[in-house]
Chain A
Amino acid sequence: MYKKLSIKILLTFVLIFFSGASITHENIQHNISASSGDKCVEPTEIMRAQHHIFVKHQSHETVVKGIRTKKYSLNNCIDCHIKPTSNGTYPSVKSEEHFCTGCHIAAAAQVECFDCHASKPFKKVAKQKQGSLKK
């Protein structure tokens, strides 16, 4: 009886400990492009907790209604948060250096945004793509 109870208490503590660690993820660097100011569209705490809700809402507004405001658009996120690495290229979405991927690995959250959406700012991608376009 006491053994079962103690296991339950232990499990509860373990769960609380680990879930807390995955939500705060304080060790992840948050780098915002210097050229676009130092503030995100909402305070950091709100963005950490709710960015997926903002982006999902915006996706519906844009695709269905044709509203193209920039504030919560995924392209806007990418333009600010994805910075070139030391060799001048943008980090791959698979690497931890990528702003989104770094956090999602730590939080064990698998996102599918970049199966379809561009994971890098526009201009460099356009130049890289020239050779492989369908003719």
Chain B
Amino acid sequence: MKKYEIKLNRRDFLKNSSMVGMATIAPGVFFQELAHGRALDEPASAKKRWGMLINTNQCTDECDACVTACNEEHGIEDFGRPTTDTQWIRKLKLTHDTSGETINVPMMCQHCENPPCVDVCPTGASFVRADGIVLVNKHTCIGCRYCMMSCPYKARSFVHENLENQLPHAPRGKGCVESCTLCVHKIDNGENTTACAEACSKDGQQAILFGDLKDPKSEISKQLKKYETKEVRSDLGLNTAVRYRGI
């Protein structure tokens, strides 16, 4: 009869036990990552690129859940001056000249990979964060509005009024340009959703899908592979993070 002997020296024992330890801890770490995203002290990383897929086939005329939710989330007030009032997301209604067919297109900052607003900014206030979100650093913005002129999507607004009672997670003030932040405070907080996408799935038509474009397992990546989607003004080669179906 053969006798099995286990010979372990100190180094092997430590190696093996550490692997067992890793296996025990790893599932916990994984679930924690899913639930909370990255830690508060961890910077945004280029391993992710946040984006949206908007299905215009499902977006209806009457619904404005996304616009209302965005205004509520960021404390955007109506001053009764539609030409200068701030808008981070707006709904466009496109009508085909010949067929008369109409499409509803929610339009906001498209979070380009090569954004013109960043190219033209004289102070470096307009920038792309590591995870692909295009933001305005309001501490450096001088309010010149070059970015507003360069944006092909008219996504940016200049704050013309003195503001009061701003929300802690959405600092906004007169003299700065601002636009959709992809609800960056929610992303940093680990919620990984946006106010418009949440509202659209809850009160609206489930037309907006938010997710990580670099994660092949995310729902948005799967749908991008499955359906035909388009960038608005794809001829400009900006590689937008917001894509549309049905346009």
Q: Could you say which residues of chain A place their CB within 8 Å of the CB of B172?
A: 116
B137 at the interface (CB under 8 A from A): yes
> Chain A contacts of B40 at CB under 8 A?
67-70
Q: Contact at A68–B129, with CB atoms within 8 Å?
A: no
Mostly helix, strand, loop or mixed at chain A's interface? helix
B153-167 near A? 1/0 per residue, CB < 8 Å: 000000000010111
Q: Report A128 CB to chain B, min CB distance, Å.
A: 6
Query: In angstroms, how far is the closest chain B Cβ from the Cβ of A100?
Result: 14
Q: Is B78 located at the chain interface by the 8 A CB criterion?
A: yes
A66 in complex: contacting residue of B76, B78, B131, CB < 8 Å: B131
In the complex, B191 has a CB within 8 A of chain A: no
CB <8 Å contact, B41 and A67: yes
- B130: A residues at CB distance < 8 A: 65-66
| A101 CB–B CB distance under 8 Å | no
Complex CA–CA separation, A117 to B176 (angstroms): 13
Pick the residue among A60, A118, A132, A134 that contacts B168 (CB under 8 A).
A118
With CB as the reference atom, state the residue of chain B lying closest to A128. Answer: B165
Residues of B within 8 A of A134 (CB): 71, 76-78, 85
Once the chains bind, are A64 and B167 in contact (CB under 8 Å)? no
**Chain A: how many interface residues by the 8 Å CB criterion?**
28
For A118, give its contact among B85, B139, B171, B188 (CB under 8 Å): B171
- The verdict on A129 contacting chain B, using a C-beta distance below 8 Å, is yes
Pair B168/A67 contact, Cβ less than 8 Å:
no
Asked if B166 and A117 sit within 8 Å, CB to CB, the answer is yes
Contact code string A35-61 (vs B, CB < 8 Å = 1, else 0)? 000000000000000000000000111
What's the least CB distance linking B203 to chain A, in Å?
Answer: 13
Q: Are A118 and B189 in contact (CB under 8 A)?
A: no
Q: Assess the A133–B44 pair: CB atoms within 8 A.
A: no
Q: Which residues of B contact A67 (CB under 8 A)?
A: 40-43
Among B77, B135, B163, B167, contact of A63 (Cβ-Cβ < 8 Å)? B135
How far apart are the CA atoms of A118 and B167 in the complex, in Å?
A: 6
- A125 touches B (CB below 8 Å): yes
CB distance from A131 to the nearest CB of B (A): 10
Min Cβ gap B117→A in Å is 16
Q: When the two chains form their complex, are residues B174 and A64 in contact, meaning their CB atoms are under 8 A apart?
A: no
Does A135 reach chain B (CB closer than 8 Å)? yes
Q: Assuming A116-B173, A125-B165, A125-B167, is B77 touching A66 (CB within 8 A)?
A: no
Known: A128-B165, A134-B78. A116 touches B171 (CB 8 A): yes
Which residues of chain B are within 8 angstroms of A115 by Cβ–Cβ distance? 163, 173-174
Min Cβ gap A99→B in Å is 15
| Cβ of A78 under 8 Å from chain B | yes
Contact of A117 among B71, B75, B171, B187 (CB under 8 A): B171
Interface set of B (CB-CB < 8 Å, partner A): 40-44, 68, 71-72, 75-78, 85, 127, 129-131, 135, 137-139, 163, 165-169, 171-174, 176, 184, 187-189
28 pairs from A and B in contact (CB 8 Å cutoff): A59-B139, A61-B43, A63-B135, A63-B137, A63-B138, A66-B129, A66-B130, A66-B184, A68-B188, A69-B41, A75-B169, A115-B174, A116-B138, A116-B172, A117-B166, A117-B168, A118-B165, A118-B167, A118-B171, A125-B168, A126-B167, A128-B165, A129-B165, A129-B167, A133-B71, A133-B76, A133-B77, A134-B78
A-B CB proximity, top 3 nearest: A116-B173, A66-B44, A134-B78
